[in-house]
């Protein structure tokens, strides 16, 4: 080590933040996030299709494209995937429908989404912001946290 190069500082040079978690636990944090990201988009599609069916009576690819701010080609490709996964049934130029499994996923997702949204509002977050945050947060909230959020909302917003 003869060169006068940039050297790591001693570990005591700063004392903010928590300690590093043990490697296995730390690894699990990131793994869980990666897993969530694998299903996230699927869930959002299925949830949106469910919402469109409920509120509009039908779910067309074009609506999904504009509501997601994505090209119709992107939606078309995704619908094929949802089909292969057995979550939707689709026939060209007809409304999409959810399979039994798709319907279950839509309900679960919507329930979770609502809990997070209502929680944020109960916390005091403005509606528009709450909606944006909830859209991303919903996929990363454990059942444990979800339950706590629900209780909080009930207590603070009768």
Cα gap 124→119, rounded to integer Å: 9
- Considering the complex, what minimum distance in angstroms separates the CB of residue 100 from a copy of itself? 13
Can residue 27 be called a binding residue for DNA (CB under 7 A)? no
Among positions 25-84, residues that touch Mn ion (CB under 5 A) are: 44, 47
| Interface residue with a copy of itself, options 2, 30, 84, 92 (CB under 8 A) | 30
Residue 90's binding partner among a copy of itself, DNA, Mn ion, none (Cβ under 5 to 8 angstroms by kind) is DNA
Write each residue from 116 to 145 as x if it is in contact with DNA (CB under 7 A), else as -, in one continuous string: ------------------------------
Write each residue from 1 to 20 as x if it is in contact with a copy of itself (CB under 8 A), else as -, in one continuous string: ----xx-xxxx-xx-xxxxx
């Amino acid at each position: 080590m003869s060169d006068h190069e940039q050297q790591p500082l001693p570990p005591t040079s700063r004392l903010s933040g928590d300690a590093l978690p043990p490697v296995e636990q730390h690894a699990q944090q990131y793994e869980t996030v990666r897993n969530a990201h694998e299903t996230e988009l699927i869930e959002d599609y299925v949830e949106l299709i469910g919402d469109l069916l409920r509120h509009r009576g039908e779910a067309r690819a074009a609506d999904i494209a504009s509501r997601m701010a994505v090209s119709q080609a992107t939606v078309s490709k995704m619908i094929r995937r949802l089909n292969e996964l057995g979550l939707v049934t689709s026939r060209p130029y007809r409304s999409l429908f959810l399979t039994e499994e798709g319907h279950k996923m839509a309900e679960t997702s919507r329930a979770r989404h609502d809990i997070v949204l209502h929680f944020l509002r109960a916390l005091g977050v403005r509606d528009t912001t709450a909606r944006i945050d909830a859209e991303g947060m919903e996929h990363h909230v454990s059942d444990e946290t979800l339950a706590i959020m629900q209780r909080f909302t009930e207590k603070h917003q009768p």
